[in-house]
Chain A
Amino acid sequence: AQKVTQAQTEISVVEKEDVTLDCVYETRDTTYYLFWYKQPPSGELVFLIRRNSFDEQNEISGRYSWNFQKSTSSFNFTITASQVVDSAVYFCALSGEQGGKLIFGQGTELSVKP
């Protein structure tokens, strides 16, 4: 069975601090895909990144970076120099080799205070 665990339910930081959101996954598929989504207070989920299981390169996009480690089944997300606009719920998700339906973690609510 596939499973995604986000152990951090809530994180609170002060603006300009760096913050890392943890994600651990379980799957028996050889090929799989990992995702991060952001859910601002408006409710709509915004796609941030996709990684496939064959690509362990870390990725950086502006203040966002992702660390994918197959050895520990983790796909962690770091926000550098956090801003108030980063306040949201962040979800990690997993899909199997067939693609399609995603299994979501419970989400981490990030609060960035000025």
Chain B
Amino acid sequence: DGGITQSPKYLFRKEGQNVTLSCEQNLNHDAMYWYRQDPGQGLRLIYYSQIVNDFQKGDIAEGYSVSREKKESFPLTVTSAQKNPTAFYLCASSILVPGELFFGEGSRLTVL
């Protein structure tokens, strides 16, 4: 089945550790995105990529890093520089225009 796969679904991390969230899509979409969702809030854009080997910062990129070496994959690393990393992370992909996003099931990160 076509879709977006995020892993892991739940992740616990100690303060000071980096952690990488995986996102893979088999929809042949050019664009991929990472959003962060905090309780009772909307989604905020972390990073996005419209083409392989290129990506742009979103509204809250500080403390995060990404790579786009393959069209299918867009991993997100939450670094120790991210002050409040506990959140729900959602990966999405789309064709560029008109661009409705298709989302994965999300990864819930908890920092202990």
Find chain A residues with CB under 8 A from B31 CB.
Answer: 100
Residue of B nearest to A32 (CB): B98
**B100:A100 contact, CB within 8 angstroms:** no
The number of chain B residues with a CB under 8 A from chain A is: 29
Find chain A residues with CB under 8 A from B48 CB.
Answer: 100-101
Q: B104 contacts the other chain (Cβ, under 8 Å)?
A: yes
Q: C-beta contact mask, B43-84 vs A, less than 8 Å → 1, else 0?
A: 111001010000000100000000000000000000000000
Point out the residue from B44, B45, B106 that lies within 8 Å of A43, measured CB to CB: B106
**B41:A106 contact, CB within 8 angstroms:** yes
A45 smallest CB distance to B (angstroms): 4
The number of chain A residues with a CB under 8 A from chain B is: 25
Q: A52 contacts the other chain (Cβ, under 8 Å)?
A: yes
Tell me, in angstroms, the Cα distance from A35 to B99 when the chains sit together.
Answer: 10
**B41:A98 contact, CB within 8 angstroms:** no
**B103:A100 contact, CB within 8 angstroms:** no
Chain A residues packing against B (C-beta within 8 Å): 4, 9, 33, 35, 37, 42-47, 50, 52, 91, 95, 98-107
Chain B residues packing against A (C-beta within 8 Å): 31, 33, 35, 40-45, 48, 50, 58, 88, 90, 92, 94-106, 108
Can you list 14 A-B contacts with CB-CB less than 8 angstroms, sorted by A residue number?
A43-B88, A43-B108, A45-B43, A45-B103, A47-B100, A91-B43, A95-B98, A99-B95, A99-B97, A100-B48, A100-B97, A100-B99, A101-B45, A102-B45
Known: A95-B99, A104-B44. 17 other contacts (CB 8 A): A33-B98, A33-B99, A35-B100, A43-B106, A44-B103, A44-B106, A91-B42, A98-B96, A98-B97, A99-B98, A99-B99, A100-B50, A101-B33, A102-B99, A104-B42, A106-B41, A106-B42
